[in-house]
């Protein structure tokens, strides 16, 4: 199945911390199997030894976020992920936040930005996150093509989004 939604292949970026490399790769593979295009796989970077390498990676990550139709942020997420979330929000790019343990809603550690209407939050099995994204992206495309309204901000609460 290929997601030729809106006339072209939908593109995504995944932000997370180095602790989540295997989960990032797993989610990327599931989305690519559905026909989405991963804009940049930062998990392939290794043996970084200079500021210039970090600068180059930073530029690639900015470009990847900017060219994405949506981003996925897997918690725990580091400071780079939060910068990428800001880039996405500032440019009207849909963001999906995923947490296994609901840390997104922990009042002591949450961010105001996690609770904006432009953010879809999900807690539950990672495989179901993919189903949420698929349904949401399909619904968004239908909405855009039928009435050119603004993007859908949430999908059914039955999927665990708040």
Band (148; pLDDT cuts 50, 70, 90): very low
* Residue 6 token pair: 């809106």
Closest CA to 85 of 113, 54, 59: 113
Alpha helices in 47-149 (DSSP H): 51-66, 79-90, 126-147
Closest CA to 77 of 33, 119, 117, 36: 119
Q: What is the pLDDT of residues 24-62, one digit of tens each?
A: 999 999 999 999 999 999 999 988 999 999 999 999 999
Q: What's this model's pTM, rounded to 2 decimal places? A: 0.81
Q: What is the pLDDT of residues 77-135, one digit of tens each?
A: 989 999 999 999 999 999 999 998 888 888 888 898 988 888 999 998 999 999 999 99
**Residue 112 class from Cβ within 10 Å (0-12 exposed, 13-18 middle, 19+ buried)?**
exposed
Length of the chain in terms of residues written: 162
> Do the beta carbons of residue 136 and residue 3 sit within 8 Å?
no
Sign of CA dihedral 156, 149, 5, 21: negative
* Residue 87 token pair: 């880039």
Closest CA to 94 of 114, 70, 73, 121: 70
Sign of CA dihedral 59, 138, 124, 162: positive
Band (143; pLDDT cuts 50, 70, 90): low
d(CA 15, CA 75): 9
Q: What is the CA radius of gyration of the chain?
A: 15
* Residue 64 token pair: 């990847």
């Amino acid at each position: 199945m290929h997601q030729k939604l809106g006339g072209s292949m939908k593109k995504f970026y995944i932000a997370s911390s180095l602790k989540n490399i295997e989960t990032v790769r797993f989610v990327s593979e599931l989305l690519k199997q559905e026909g989405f295009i991963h804009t940049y796989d930062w998990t392939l970077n290794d043996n970084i030894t200079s500021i210039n390498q970090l600068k180059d990676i930073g530029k690639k990550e900015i470009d990847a976020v900017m060219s994405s139709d949506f981003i996925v942020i897997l918690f725990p997420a580091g400071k780079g992920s939060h910068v990428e979330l800001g880039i996405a929000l500032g440019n009207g790019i849909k963001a999906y936040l995923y947490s296994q343990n609901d840390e997104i809603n922990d009042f002591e550690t949450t961010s105001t930005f996690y609770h904006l209407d432009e953010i879809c939050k999900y807690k539950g099995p990672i495989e179901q996150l993919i189903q949420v994204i698929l349904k949401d992206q399909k619904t968004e495309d239908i909405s855009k093509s039928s009435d050119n309204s603004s993007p859908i901000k949430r999908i059914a609460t039955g999927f665990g989004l708040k």
